[in-house]
Every structure is written in C-alpha cells, then in structure tokens.
Amino acid sequence: MSSSPVIAIIGRPNVGKSTLFNRLTGRRTALVSDMPGLTRDRREEDAELAGHAVTLVDTAGLEEGKRGSIAARMREQTEAALSEADLVLFLLDAREGVTPDDKVFAQLVRASGRPVIIVANKCEGRAGEAGFYAAFELGFGEPVAISAEHGEGLGELITDILAALGLQDVQEAHEGEAGTAEAEGGAGRDRPIRVAIVGRPNAGKSTLVNALLGEERMITGPEPGLTRDAVASDLTWSGRKVRLFDTAGLRRKARVTEAAEKLSASDAVRAIRFAEVVVLLIDAERPFEHQDLTIGDLVTQEGRALVVAVNKWDLVEDKQRMLKELRETLAERLAQVAGVTLVPLSALSGRGLDRLGPAVLAAYDSWNKRIATADLNRWLEEALARHAPPAVRGRRIKIRYMTQASARPPTFIAFCSRPEDLPKSYLRYLTNTLRKSFDLPGVPLRLNLRKGENPYAKRKH
C-alpha cells in the first residue's frame, strides 16, 4: 500500500465507479461496461490530484450475497478497502435516485468511521436532479454532482477531496473566489473551454469560425447546410485556451428529412450538451425567428452559458433601434437567462469579433461561479425582509436556509417549510434578486426547494 492518502470508491454495481476511477487516474485501466458486476477485485492506482499524490482504489459493487458466494467475496474485498481508506467516495446513480441498497450500504460506510464524500454521478442534463437532492437524506452532507462519463464536476470533487484530506485549506476549498474556472482532472485553466457555435442554417457559423481562426478552415458558401459535422478548432482568447465547435445548422424537426441532416442535427444537439458556453448566432436580416428562440431555450434547458451573437450587423441601417428590439425580445422570450450578452458583429468583415471573446469568457466565469454559504444566507435574510413569502391557507411559508449545491450552472437549494405551496412568482423574485445581487447574467440559475430545517444546524451543536 502506498504511503500517500488512500481514497476508496464505493457504491452499488454499475453506478460508475470504474469510470470515475479512470477519470481521476487519467488512465483507462479499469474495465467499463453497462454490465453490472464487471469489477470483482480491488484495483489500486497511484494518481496525482492538483499536484498531490494519492492512491485510488476501485472496488467491486456492494451486493448482498450468501456466505462463500462470489457476491459475498466481492463484498469482503470492498470492506477491506474501506478499512484501509483515508477517505471514502460513496457513489450514487443520480438518475436512479437513492435506492434501499444505497441506504443499507450507507450504514456500512458510516460504521467504518472514515470521512465520506457523497458523489451523485450521471448528473448530466436534468435527468439526475431528483436523485441529487435525494442524496441529502443519507446524512453525509452536500453531494457533489458529477458526470464521470463526460468529465463534468470533477474540479469541484477534487477540491472537496483535497479539503477532506487536509491537503487544501477548507475555507478556500468551499468558498473559493467567484469566477474560478473548474478544473477537469486538476487541469484548471490548462483545459480548453468548450464553446459551441450554433444557429439556423446559413447564419454564418462557419464564416465566423474562419474569421476567429484567421484561416479558411471551414467550407463556406451561400448554400445552407454545408456543414455536416461538429468540427473542433483550438484558439486562445486573453491567454485562455478555447475549443470551438462549428455545428450544422439546426432547423425544425419537421424539416429534417435527409438521413445525413438528421445525423447532423443530432451532432449539433450533442455539441450543445457537451459545450460549456454556447454562442447562438442569429442573422441580423432575419433576427430571432422561432427556431432561434427554440435553440436558445434548448441551451438553457441543458444548463449551458449563453452568448447571443448577431451576424451581418454591417447590413443593419438603424442599429440603435435594432439593438433595442433585440434586447427586448431576449428579455421577454429568454427570461430564464436574464442579462445574456448580445454581441453585434460581421463575420465577413471582422467587425465586432474582438467583443466576442471577452463575452464568452465572462459567461464561462459566471457559469462556474460559487458563492459562500454565509453570503448566500445574508442575501436570503435581506430578500425575505424586503418581500416576505406569502401566506397560503392562512399559514406563512418559512424559508430557513440556503446553500449552493453546485456550479456549472449555479445551482442552489433553499430549505423551506412547505416548498410545494411557494408560488412560482415568489421563486422568480428570489431567482432574479439572486442573479442581480451576485452578478450572474446570461447563465441559467437553478433554485430548488427542499422541505426541512437547516440540515447543518445540528452539526454546530
């Protein structure tokens, strides 16, 4: 056994333990498959997390089994890993939620007396939200939302691991300065920011990418639909690496008939899901058609940061009037990302391109922003004092505590006496005030209500 801290990855079969193990080690040494129970023995690998040496242990899925059976022997191997660990990562499948087996094995992990970080895996998109919040009931504190398969949330997990092992100042770990870019595998700003350029066919996406790269990398022309694949290109903005994805134009499903275009549309949607910032390129001659707004809505549903670029701006005669109308449309139709940055430009002439990079980087930093719990609750107290929650059926609703569950996008949990009765209008008031108070324009905010008292109050006593 290595002298470096030992981290055991524990959980039911097929929750993604080996995928996370491979992500954290940076090597594909553990077999990964949809078939549960593929891992049977403990696997140890030395790894480096943000410059700190650790030993990671991938374990078999915790299963009940008769004495002497393979399942029982696998469990014994896992229990041995628990006894030798300095830290336990207890992994859940957020899409399945907290199962009875998870609760049983949580007792086993708790009985080991080892420090535990609860990790909600498979949180990409919105499918895992309910399971993420359900993980609070296991009593291990705030879960860390990740997608081991797609590499999302690993920076936050690594920060929490280092804090739990005493390798990084806890205050710095949990209340780091706003705007710090999340690391993937500890890489931090060395990892390129993934930026997808999306929009309707013939909006000028490939022309824009060529202009940003300074070369004719993409085929362009007046014919719509020239781009079929999501093509990646690397560049640097203000010293920060960026990976641009030029995508096929997205049109309404009813109009997607050719097999090749169906694949292209699917590829563009996939690029949105894997991007961190999405630049929605619209045509100034036909601004904000229905499909533009549908794409913008898809971006916000997927929880990505958004920047709207208006191409062919040099063809607009009354620019001030057009800007005013575009901002009004954005405020009305994409209210869920209030304050989104609007960048007028001309991909053909190059005018306005210098404003796109800073807008993307600012949106990315807001998307990664973490707010200290103390600051959040001071804000909550002021917001409640200015406008108290309404009384429903003669009883006033109480909101007692708030914390940030994750970034990318900023996601918050408020603990409330009767969450099901709180009007949506009041939730919008809180979200809009939160966005304004902490300067979070242009990124989707997720504010979720949970029933109960402050879950950390008992700890203080």
Does residue 322 sit in the same domain as residue 276?
yes
Residues 350 and 430 in one domain: no
Amino acid at residue number 90:
F
**Beta strands at 87-93 and 116-121: parallel, antiparallel or unpaired:** parallel
**Whether residue 125 is found in the same domain as residue 40:** yes
Shared domain for 97 and 181, answered yes or no, is yes
Residue 295 CA to residue 287 CA, distance in Å, equals 13
CATH number at residue 320: 3.40.50.300
Residue 410 in contact with residue 443, Cβ under 8 Å? yes
CATH of the domain at 382: 3.30.300.20
* End-to-end Cα, the chain, rounded Å: 37
Residue 443 belongs to a domain: yes
Asked if residue 423 and residue 358 are part of one domain, the reply reads: no
Range of the domain at 403: 373-460
Given a contact cutoff of 8 angstroms between Cβ atoms, the answer to whether 434 and 409 are in contact is no
In terms of domains, do 305 and 385 share one? no
Q: Which residues of 95-123 are buried (b: 16+ CB within 10 A; e: fewer)?
A: bbbbeeebeebbeebeebebebbbbbbbb
State residue 361's pLDDT score: 96
User: Looking at the 3D structure of the chain, how many domains does it have?
Assistant: 3
Are 317 and 424 found together in one domain? no
Count CB neighbours of 374 within 10 A. Answer: 9
Residue 1 falls inside a structural domain: no
Same-domain status, 100 and 16: yes
pLDDT score for 153: 82
Q: What pLDDT is stored for residue 168 in this prediction? A: 55
pLDDT in tens, the chain (461 residues): 447 889 999 888 888 898 899 889 876 554 333 434 433 345 788 888 888 889 998 887 655 544 444 445 555 666 777 888 889 999 999 989 899 888 888 888 888 888 899 999 988 766 777 788 888 888 887 788 888 888 888 888 888 898 888 775 433 433 343 333 333 333 345 678 989 898 888 788 888 988 888 854 433 334 343 333 345 778 899 999 998 887 754 444 444 344 333 333 445 576 777 788 999 999 999 888 887 888 888 888 888 899 999 999 999 999 999 999 999 999 888 888 889 999 999 999 999 999 999 999 999 999 999 999 999 999 999 999 999 998 888 888 899 899 887 788 898 888 988 888 899 899 999 999 999 999 999 899 988 888 865 555 554 44
Residues 115, 71 share a domain: yes
pLDDT at site 246: 76
